[in-house]
Structures are given as C-alpha cells and as structure tokens.
Amino acid sequence: MPARTLGGLNWPPFSIGRLDNWRVSQMTEMTDHLGEGLARTVKLLIRLKSYYLIFSTLVLALTFFLVVIFRYILHMDLFAYEEWLLPICFWMFFMGSAVGTYQDTHIKADILENYIHNERIKWLRKVSIAAIELVITLFIVYWATLMLIDEFASYPQWQSTIALRIPFAIPRIGIWLGLVFMAFYSALHLYVYLKVGYQGNSDADAQNDTLVSADKAES
C-alpha cells in the first residue's frame, strides 16, 4: 500500500505489507525458540483461535444485520438474540485476548523503553514485566477456577438464560480457558526471554529498527 501525505506527514507510517511482515516475524520468533512439538502445538492453537475469531465476528455481523431487517422492515423482534450472542461474545473476547497475549499486541501506554539505551536493562525490564504479568494472570486463573467450581457445584440448579436456557457455565468456561491461555503464553514469553538473553533481545530490536528504517526509505 503506497504511502500518502496527510497534513504534511506520510500516512500510514508503515506500509501495510511491511507491518504485517513485522507482526508475523514477531509472532513466529517465539516459536523458533521452542521445541518442535511445543512449537507445532502453539501454532495449531493460535490457528484454531484465529478461525474462531473470524467465525464469531461473522456471526455478530450477520446477527445485527438480521436484527435491523426484523425490527425496521418486518417490524418483529429477532427472538432472544442477546442470549445466543452472550457465549459467543465471551469466547471471542477471551480468545482474542489470548491471541493478543501471544502476539504481544495489547495496547500499551509505555514510553519508558524509549529512554532506556542499555540493552541489558531493556532485557531485564522485559523479563520483569513478563514475570509480573504471569503472576497476576495466575492469580486470576485461580479465581476463575473457583468460579467454575462454584458453577458446576450448583448443577442442576445452575444459572441459565431466561428464554433459551443456555447455562452461564458456557461463557464462564470461555473466560477460564482464555485466562489459562494468557497465562500459558505469558509463561512462554518469559521462558524465551530467559533462554535468549539480553544479547538475543538486542539483535531482535536491531532487526526491527532495520525494518522501520527500510520502510521510511521506501516511502
């Protein structure tokens, strides 16, 4: 995608193709440092979650399209659509969060790294963040596990939706599973940081800087 000038600035700041390549390189870099069997499993899990995210997004779009048709053209209500969207949305949110954890693409308000020039300190900072993230996520996984245990303990009087009687356990399983995946991917990030060391982190940063510089030169 060619760069365009917007207010005197080149836009977008990255070409879309190069940005996608950079994200793919970041995504596959972690699996390059894992064992073959584990790397294959991780890639398969990410692929399955990506397929579900595509499916759930299409279901949401189609459902709201039908809601408009039913309400404003047929003057009817689409029966209990909020109830069948409830589990789909919860699974979508938490599977998407798991993919974001793996790709390390969550929104961050972090400017500290721009002022750190020592590669060893940068590496220690990343290790510390990954470790704190893992500990916090494990605590949340523990609480989510208690939530599921309490939910199944109430069977067959467990909570369900009013019309379609969909058990609340279904979206709550999605919450628990998404948190487990977040903890798993956080642990993998921490493992790779420790395995590669700060020198490997420096090489990765240098490669990313080269991509950014090449993109600027092309634009």
Give long-range contacts, CB 8 A cutoff, 24+ apart: 131-138. Answer: 131/190, 133/186, 134/183, 134/186, 134/187, 134/190, 137/179, 137/182, 137/183, 137/186, 138/183
Which pLDDT value is given to residue 26?
Answer: 47
Pair of tokens at residue 142:
């523990």
Q: Is pLDDT of 112 > 50?
A: yes
Q: Any residues with CB less than 8 A from the CB of 90 and at least 6 apart, and which?
A: 171, 172, 174, 175
pTM for this one?
A: 0.75
- Rg of the chain on CA atoms, in Å: 22
Q: Is pLDDT of 204 > 70?
A: no
**pLDDT tens digit string along 29-53?**
777 878 888 889 999 999 999 999 9
Q: Is residue 125 helix, strand or coil?
A: helix
Stated as kind and residue range, the H or E segment containing 217 is helix 169-218
Which of 1-5, 70-74, 189-193 has the weakest average pLDDT? 1-5
pLDDT tier, 19 (very low <50, low <70, confident <90, very high otherwise): very low
- Residue 163 CA to residue 155 CA, distance in Å, equals 18
Which pLDDT value is given to residue 126?
Answer: 86
Q: Looking at residue 112, what DSSP letter applies?
A: G
Residue with more model confidence, 134 or 33: 134
Query: What angle (nearest 5°) sits at the alpha carbon of residue 187, between those of residues 45 and 131?
Result: 150
Pair of tokens at residue 137:
């996520």
Query: What angle (nearest 5°) sits at the alpha carbon of residue 131, between those of residues 127 and 133?
Result: 115
